[in-house]
Amino acid sequence: MFFLLARLVQATVVMLCVALVGFLVFQFVGDPVLSLVGQETSVEDREALRESLGLNDPILLQYARYVVNAVQGDFGISYSFNRDVSEMIADRLPATIELVMLSGVLSLLLAIPAGIYTGIRRKGGIAQTIMALSVIGVSIPSFLLGILLILVFSVWLNWLPSFGRGDVAVMFGMRSSLFTWDGLSHALMPAAVLCLFQLGVILRLIRAEMLEVLRTDYIRFAWARGLPGQRVYFRHALKNTLVPVVTAIGLQLSSLFAFSIITERVFQWPGMGSLLLHAIGQSDIPLLAAYLIFVGLVFTISNLVVDAIYVLIDPRIRHGAL
Amino acid sequence: MFERIRSDFWYELVNSPVTVVSAIIIAVMIIGCTFAPVFAPHTPFDPATISIMDNNMPPAWADGADPRFLLGTDLQGRDVLSAMLYGGRISLLVGIGAVALSVVIGMTVGLLAGYFGGMTDAVLMRIAEIQFAFPPILIALLFNGILKASLPADVFAQAAVPIMILAIGLAGWVQFARIVRASAMVQRGQDYVTACHAIGLPTPTIILRHITPNILGPVLVLAMLQIAVAIVTEATLSFLGLGTPLTQPSLGALIQIGSQYLFSGIWWVVIFPGIMLLVMVVAFNLVADWVRDYLNPRLR
């Protein structure tokens, strides 16, 4: 319990730091008054606006106000869209989430069996082929892979659409393009690109852990007891590979969010990543700061969840031995 | 570290043809790109020497090609091969420069934390742990993005290369700090360090002259792997339009330019820089893998 509490405190500190960066960007980049009023506004009016916006208050007070507003989901108005920033994020979020979920599920479904297989039969032909392919999967930059897929499947073969999200349908109260064939065909290439890098990383990690565990004394003892292979591999070995694998999956899931910026750009997927790149291009500071804080939150929460899962699967942490 | 280059170094190297080929590729690329003005058949970014009449030429072996342009030309008539050599120069410069910065920061932090322990260790490693939770590419992207949004466009374009070295270098130091700290903690307990204390050597001398040489092995392996990562990060930032300006494109920016004309069938402007980037990254990874196995004989 103490472990989780300490993590919670640390997470709060991290979020305050991220908010500080967001606030500093706000503070030192551009002048909010200038971006709100036109040329003809008088100096007195500007000063009045400055006062009413609280920009003359002590900097700590302004930071506190910024944090309080951010906690309530108020990140101000976007300069370039003239809309509520939190509303815009809420608009774009589902597209990114569906992409991240689809590729996350895909990579786990492929990586876990492949990692176990290559760990057990590490000298076999299939395992060697999988490992060679995973080197390429880890090495190839995801934007390059995306462009190559577009070149082959959209330009040369004309099988799949190369940009956009396609048709969106409502099911179970959620709007998603994953519920229509057209939407799925649009999501296939971006999800594959996003999944491949994670696939290589998780596969190699699971394989390395399997190799490590299979060398230990208790596994040798299990063989000596004459247990069937299935039982040794899946009941005895697999369990002990889980701890590092769970951390890696947690980290990988949040880095899917980061890599989705690239994938969304390549396939013009209308999600959070496209929004961020737009904000940078237009110097849209409120949007940029809000994105920063939002991503910080996603990362902090996913790390907390990973820590909580630790407590569940590793009794040594529960009993304070670590 | 140097006494660890044992007599079996060349034997092991020759027994791994993949590594030899990779090392040759890296050497050729570094020489070719560093002396790009000498080797490149054209000067692609000098408007006086390019002609719009030469635009969109396919590679030399395809129909309608011009033998002057081995890998074809782009939309503005620039020679793709020359642009790749100049672009590769920026990619290598940023990749190696950023890793050098990461090594300096990471080794400083790691040595301080590992040697002194206690509060120094706790504070430095907590900071490292927090940064480690965020993927380096995201940190570099946001760092570059915030600077791009806040600096005037021409200032950012001028300083693009140093800014990228700074962004990628700052994003990558944590891994160096972690391995250096772990090694420094082991070394601190060794008898030779106690002996150094006993003969009255000052602490900075012990750390720099006696401990540092003993932890360079793993740093070297990580640095080679990180060069590959830094090159990919640079290419990605440039592809997203956050990196090098279009007047001075790196490999990533070249791919971005080419990707706009995919649907007009001009594939060579994308494919060749893409292949060069991929080969560069894979070669660095393979050499790093070999060096790691070489320095760690247990894995053989």
Mean pLDDT of A231-235: 79
Residue A274's identity, in one-letter code, is S
Distance of residue A157 Cα from the nearest chain B Cα, in angstroms: 12
In order, the DSSP letters of B2-54 are GGGS-TTHHHHHHT-HHHHHHHHHHHHHHHHHHTHHHH-SS-TT-TTT--GGG
Instruction: Choose among A14, A147, A254: nearest Cβ to B262.
Output: A147
| Residues contacting residue A298 through CB under 8 Å, at least 6 positions apart | A254, A257
User: Roughly how many angstroms between the first and final C-alpha of chain A, as a whole number?
Assistant: 13
Give the burial class of B151: count Cβ atoms within 10 A of its Cβ; 0-12 exposed, 13-18 middle, 19 or more buried: middle
Query: What is the token pair recorded at A10?
Result: 């640390």
Mutate: best of B134, B264, B280, partner A, most A CBs <10 A? B134
The upper half-sphere exposure of residue B147, i.e. CA atoms within 13 Å in the direction of its Cβ, equals 22
> What does A24-64 look like in DSSP terms, one character per residue?
HHHHHSS-HHHHHS-TT--HHHHHHHHHHTTTTS-HHHHHH
B278 → closest Cβ in A10, A139, A299: A139
Cα–Cα distance, A257 to A276 (Å, whole number): 12
Give residue for tokens 């070669």: B283
Contact residues, chain A, for B245 at CB < 8 Å: none
B90-105: b (≥16 Cβ within 10 Å) or e: bbbbbbbbbbebbbeb
Residue A220 has pLDDT above 60, yes or no: yes
What the block records as the tokens of B93 is 């410069």
- The reply to whether residue B278 touches residue A140, judged by beta carbons under 8 angstroms, is yes
Whole-number Å distance between alpha carbons of A295 and A273? 10
> Which pairs from A165-172 meet CB under 8 Å and 24+ separation?
A165/A95, A165/A269, A165/A270
Residues near B231 by Cβ (< 8 Å), separated by ≥ 6?
B91, B92, B94, B95, B277, B280, B281, B284
Q: Please report the ipTM that was assigned to this predicted complex.
A: 0.78
Assess contact for B106 and B177: CB atoms under 8 A: yes
Give residue-wise pLDDT tens across range A148-197.
Answer: 888 888 777 877 777 767 666 665 556 666 666 666 777 788 888 888 87
Q: Enumerate the domain spans of chain B.
A: 8-42+59-299
Alpha-carbon distance of B210 to B197, in angstroms, equals 11
Q: Count CB-CB contacts under 10 A for residue B197.
A: 11
CA dihedral A17, A22, A25, A27 (to 10 degrees): -90
- Answer whether B242 touches A (CB < 8 Å): yes
For A16, A148, A265, B61, B81, the CA distances from B269, given in Å and listed in that order, are 45, 12, 19, 15, 9
The DSSP secondary structure of A244-312, one letter per residue, reads HHHHHHHHHHHHHHHHHHHHHHHHT--SHHHHHHHHHHTT-HHHHHHHHHHHHHHHHHHHHHHHHHHHH
Nearest to B115 by CA among B228, B17, B193, B53: B193
Regarding the domain delimited by B8-42+59-299, which CATH topology (the fold level of the hierarchy) does it fall under?
MetI-like fold (1.10.3720)
* Pair type for strands A174-176 and A169-171: antiparallel
Residue found under tokens 């939190």? A86
pTM recorded for the entire structure = 0.82
| Neighbouring-strand partners of residue A174 | A171
DSSP secondary structure string for all residues of B191-204: HHHHHHHHTT--HH
B-chain residue closest to A212, CA distance = B299
What is the three-class DSSP state of A171? strand
Q: How many CA atoms lie within 13 A of A26 on its CB side?
A: 26
pLDDT tens digits, one per residue of A35-91: 666 666 777 777 777 776 667 677 777 778 778 877 777 777 777 777 788 888 888
Q: Convert B61-77 to b/e letters by CB count within 10 Å (16 or more is b).
A: eeeebeeebbbbbbeeb
Considering only CA atoms, which of B37, B1, B27, B63 is closest in space to residue B213?
Answer: B1
Could you tell me the CA-to-CA distances from B31 to A197, B24, B35, B104, B147 in Å, in that order? 30, 11, 6, 25, 32
Contact: B262, A141; criterion CB under 8 Å: no
Contact A155, B263 (CB under 8 A): yes
- Alpha carbon dihedral B9, B12, B18, B19, in 10-degree steps, equals -20
The tens place of each residue's pLDDT in chain B, 300 residues long, gives: 445 556 677 777 777 788 888 888 888 888 888 887 777 777 776 666 666 666 666 776 666 666 666 667 777 767 778 888 888 888 899 999 999 999 999 999 999 888 888 888 888 888 888 788 778 888 888 888 888 877 777 787 888 888 889 999 998 899 999 889 888 888 888 888 888 888 988 888 888 888 888 888 888 888 988 998 899 899 988 888 887 777 778 888 888 888 887 777 777 788 888 888 988 988 888 888 888 877 775 554
| A143/B252 Cβ within 8 A | yes
pLDDT confidence bin for A319, thresholds 50/70/90: low
Q: Is A283 on the interface with B (CB under 8 A)?
A: yes
Residue closest to B72 by CA, chosen among B83, B87, B59: B59
Contact in structure between A167 and A75 (CB atoms under 8 Å)? no
Cα–Cα distance, A150 to B204 (Å, whole number):
55
Chain A contact set for B262 (CB, 8 A): 147, 150-151, 155
Whole-number Å distance between alpha carbons of B137 and B168: 8
CA of B150: which chain A residue's CA is closest?
Answer: A29
B187 and B144 in contact (C-beta within 8 Å)? Answer: no
Cα distance from A253 to chain B (closest Cα, Å)? 11
The answer to whether the CB atoms of B241 and A251 lie below 8 A apart is no
Q: Do B148 and A147 touch (CB under 8 A)?
A: no
Identify the closest residue of chain B to A133 by CA–CA distance. Answer: B282
Q: Chain B contacts of A152, Cβ < 8 Å?
A: none
